Amino acid sequence: MTLDTLIAEPWADYGLVDSGHGRKLERYGRFRFIRPEPQAMWAPASGDWKADGEFIPASDDDGGGRWHLDRNVPEEGWPLGWEDVKFQAQCTPFRHLAFFPDMASHWSWMRDRISEGSEALNLFGYTGVGSLALAAKGAKVTHVDASKKSVEAGKANAALSGMSDKPIRWLVDDAAKFAAREVRRERRYDGIMLDPPKYGRGPNREIWHLEEGLPGLIADCAKLLDDKSRFLVLTVYAVRMSALAIGELVRQQLGDLGGTVSCGEMAVREEARGLALPTAIFARWER
Ligand X SMILES: C[S@@+](CC[C@H](N)C(=O)[O-])C[C@H]1O[C@@H](n2cnc3c(N)ncnc32)[C@H](O)[C@@H]1O
By CB under 6 A, name the one of 150, 229, 253, 279 that touches ligand X: 150
Cβ atoms within 10 Å of 156's Cβ, excluding its own: 16
- Tell me the HSE value of 95 on the side-chain side, using a 13 A CA sphere: 17
Closer of 103 and 141 to ligand X (Cβ): 103
By CB under 6 A, name the one of 54, 145, 182, 190 that touches ligand X: 145
* Interface with ligand X, residue 103, by CB under 6 A: yes
C-alpha 8/C-alpha 187 separation (Å) is 32
Closer of 44 and 87 to ligand X (Cβ): 87
Q: Is 85 left (phi over 0), alpha (psi -120 to 50) or beta?
A: beta
Amino acid at residue number 12: A
* Interface with ligand X, residue 105, by CB under 6 A: no
Least distance between ligand X and beta carbon 141 (Å): 12
* Interface with ligand X, residue 99, by CB under 6 A: yes
By CB under 6 A, name the one of 30, 201, 209, 228 that touches ligand X: 201
Number of residues that bind ligand X (CB under 6 A): 23
C-alpha 69/C-alpha 231 separation (Å) is 40
C-alpha 232/C-alpha 139 separation (Å) is 15
Least distance between ligand X and beta carbon 96 (Å): 8
Closer of 48 and 212 to ligand X (Cβ): 212
Cβ proximity of 84 and 104 under 8 Å: no
By CB under 6 A, name the one of 127, 161, 253, 279 that touches ligand X: 127
Least distance between ligand X and beta carbon 265 (Å): 16
* Interface with ligand X, residue 174, by CB under 6 A: yes
Q: Where are the alpha helices (DSSP H) in 114-238?
A: 129-135, 148-160, 175-184, 210-223
* 243 three-state secondary structure: helix
The rounded Cα 147 to chain-centroid distance in angstroms is 15
By CB under 6 A, name the one of 37, 195, 270, 271 that touches ligand X: 195
C-alpha 147/C-alpha 144 separation (Å) is 9
Amino acid at residue number 81: G
Fill in the per-residue mask, 53 to 92: x = in contact with ligand X (CB under 6 A), - = not in contact: ----------------------------------------
Contacts to ligand X by CB under 6 A: 99-100, 103, 124-127, 129-130, 144-147, 150, 174-175, 195, 197, 200-202, 206, 208
